[in-house]
Amino acid sequence: MRTHKYFAIALTALALAASPAMAGEGNKHKGKGHKGDHHAKVEHHDNGLHKGWYKQAWKRGDRIPVAYLEPVYYVEDYRVYRLAPPPTGYRWVRPMDDRYLLVELASGLVAEALGY
């Protein structure tokens, strides 16, 4: 019985010691320009164009996320931006530069979208 216990401990120790040594072997020759790598993935830089990322184009009737109903996005000095005073229950929200939304606070519905 003791022999089986020592044998199991020895096998476990051997397995644990060998696993880190084998971990880095798979990506050995995946660098650019390797002669045997004919199917290399060519990656292009987007030069700051942020391909795959777009600005949300809000329109009347859309429902904005609750995060935009936080006071940090409110336009308190709407006259400075030449915006009409918001009706009761509405707020001007500025989700990004030079774009303004008149939003009903209770529902998050966009009543007016400027700059889109």
pTM: 0.53
Model pLDDT, residue 91: 96
- Reading phi first (left if > 0) and then psi (alpha if -120 to 50, else beta), residue 110 is in beta
End-to-end CA distance of the chain: 78
- pLDDT, tens digit (0-9, with 9 covering 90-100), for 20-54: 555 555 555 555 555 555 555 556 666 666 566 56
Structural domains of the chain, ranges and CATH numbers in brackets: 59-116 (3.10.450.160)
